[in-house]
Amino acid sequence: MPYYFYSACTVNDLPVGGRLRVAVEGYPVCLYNVEGTYFASTDSCPHERVSLGDGGTLDGATITCGAHRWSFDVRTGECHNNPGHKLRLFPVGRKGDEIFVGFWVNEGDGEEPRADP
Ligand code: FES
């Protein structure tokens, strides 16, 4: 099933080692720059839905939630503290200086992005 890619930010907004909370088509997304490679996840921590972009800290490829310190690998979504939980990831694209986040078709229409295609 195809993705729609939506503009999220520019490379200047997201330096190496940075994380950025953005609204993509109204949906809160957190973007990460891990040594020049961009990743994206839902902004909501799987534990109690606290924003990762507002209170989290990025160390390498690990985002740690500021609320209760759960941490996730932004490359895989795996949770380091609680393996039964996973951070939802989105594909990321880049064209020139612009960074795009991909949602499955219908996700950009105000619906909650689906967990499965
Ligand atoms: S809300 Fe993120 S660890 Fe609790």
Note the pLDDT tens digit of each residue in 2-57: 778 999 999 999 999 999 999 998 999 999 999 999 999 999 999 999 999 999 99
**Which comes out higher in pLDDT, residue 114 or 80?**
80
* Ligand 1 pocket test, candidate residues 21, 50, 81, most atoms within 8 A of CB: 50
Distance 19 CA to ligand 1 centre (A): 17
CATH architecture assignment, domain 3-109: 3-layer Sandwich (2.102)
Question: CA-to-CA distance for 32 and 54, rounded, in angstroms?
Answer: 13
- Show the tokens assigned to 73: 């690998």
Paired strand residues for 6: 101
Q: In this predicted structure, what is the pLDDT of residue 82?
A: 92
- Show the tokens assigned to 72: 């996730």
Ligand 1 atom at minimum distance from 66 CA: 2
User: How do residues 62-107 score in pLDDT, each as one tens digit?
Assistant: 999 999 999 999 999 999 999 999 999 999 999 999 999 998 766 4
Distance 97 CA to ligand 1 centre (A): 32
Whether the per-residue pLDDT at 115 is higher than 80: the answer is no
Question: CA-to-CA distance for 18 and 53, rounded, in angstroms?
Answer: 10
Ligand 1 atom at minimum distance from 49 CA: 1
Ligand 1 atom at minimum distance from 70 CA: 3
User: How do residues 55-68 score in pLDDT, each as one tens digit?
Assistant: 999 999 999 999 99
Domain boundaries, the chain: 3-109
Closest by CA position to 22, among listed 95, 101, 89, 76: 101
